[in-house]
Amino acid sequence: MDYNGFESKYGYTFRNKELLKLALTHTTYVFEKQGQHYESNQRLEYIGDAVIDLVIGRKLYDLKPQADEGYLSKIRSIIVCEESFAKVARKLNVGELLLMGKGEEQTGGRDKDSTLADAFEALAAAVFFDSDYETVEKVILSNLEETINLAIDGKIFLDYKSRLLEIAQMKDNQHKITFTVTDERGPQHQKEFDVEVYADDIFLAKATGRSKKDAEQKGAKAAISVYESKFGK
């Protein structure tokens, strides 16, 4: 596969292309080929998560010398999350490069937030192993620069659950918002949760996330527009 276009957008040219390939290998592709779990990008994702956490934490520490740890943690959680990683991965067309099983691809796997976020984290680890900390720091900050600036300026809002609950209580005819877990699947290290959102007994939306909290936030985000269309802004 020709990775030149991606490497140009990403801002890093890999010396070891096998590391790049590994970062883009989904577990379903490995299992379809009857391989082992460690041949997918999940181990790289584990390292990438830690590396990005450190890079962003240090950047915020330098940018906001007067901020306390509560503020820094809150802003970092907005930047270092599935949604922001998936958004950047889409800009890089990561989905087109992923190696994945046919079944996963047929069900929209190439554009799934969790899959794209995992790949983004795995790519960071691949750069780290292919070079050094200073290099991966530059690559991460370059790709997340817009997200960092928006988060600091307060222009990214991720607590959709609180927002939905607030909207529901603002109406003349107030509604009780509930979140119901309808399914839980996958191994312990890679679970997925399905959540449905209701206003009283009226179905609003459903979503899937890597944790109950993640699924609820995604469900709430989708439910806000549905709620407003049904009951008015």
Which residues are catalytic, by number?
A: 49, 121
DSSP assignment letter at 140 = H
Using CA atoms, how far apart are residues 194 and 53, in angstroms rounded to an integer? Answer: 27
**Pair of tokens at residue 48:** 């990438």
**Pair of tokens at residue 191:** 């679970």
Reported as half-sphere exposure (CB side, CA atoms, 13 A), residue 177 has a value of 25
Residue 155, C-beta contacts closer than 8 angstroms, at least 6 positions apart: none
- Looking only at the bridges linking them, the beta strands covering 192-199 and 177-185 are antiparallel
Using CA atoms, how far apart are residues 32 and 153, in angstroms rounded to an integer? Answer: 44
8-15 long-range CB contacts below 8 Å, 24 or more apart? 9/91, 9/92, 9/93, 10/92, 10/123, 10/139, 10/143, 11/138, 11/139, 11/142, 11/143, 12/127, 12/131, 12/135, 12/139, 14/126, 14/127, 14/130, 15/130, 15/131
